[in-house]
Amino acid sequence: MFTSLRLPLIGLLSFTLVQAVSAAECATDTRRGAEVFATECSVCHAVTKGTTGMMGPNLFGVYGRKSGSLAGFSYSQAMRDKDVDWQAENITQLITQPQAFVPGTYMPYMGLASADDRQAVACFLKEQH
């Protein structure tokens, strides 16, 4: 009986730990992330569900979404082939230097110099769902 209980308990415990770690990674002030998004990204990206017609894909729900997979958006072949699930780590890599992370991408963005701002905007995107 105890052995059958132990596995689910370990699962639950490590799940809780993972949650705690990702919460800590996103402990940055999300108001800062919203500001960074407004000045650096909102000219090309919406975060409101259903908004289309911008130069970049809608980023509502982007966190955990597979790269290049939003239906109806014409991505570059490079972005469709990238095959990552967007998380803080790869979002920050993308916005450090898009052409380095996805060579051939259509995202005409030079990159965000501040690591704190990159993290803040990634955490802001995590909340847009």
Q: Which is nearer to ligand HEC, 22 or 90 (CB)?
A: 90
**Six-digit token pair at 89?**
């780590």
Contact letters for ligand HEC, residues 45-84 (x by CB under 6 A): x---------xxx----x----xx-x----xx-xx-----
Cα–Cα distance, 92 to 103 (Å, whole number): 16
Shortest distance (Å) from residue 28 CB to ligand HEC:
14
* Nearest-approach distance from CB 9 to ligand HEC, in angstroms: 36
Identify the CA nearest to 126 among candidates 86, 96, 95, 93.
86
- Residue placing its CB nearer to ligand HEC in the complex, 9 or 81: 81
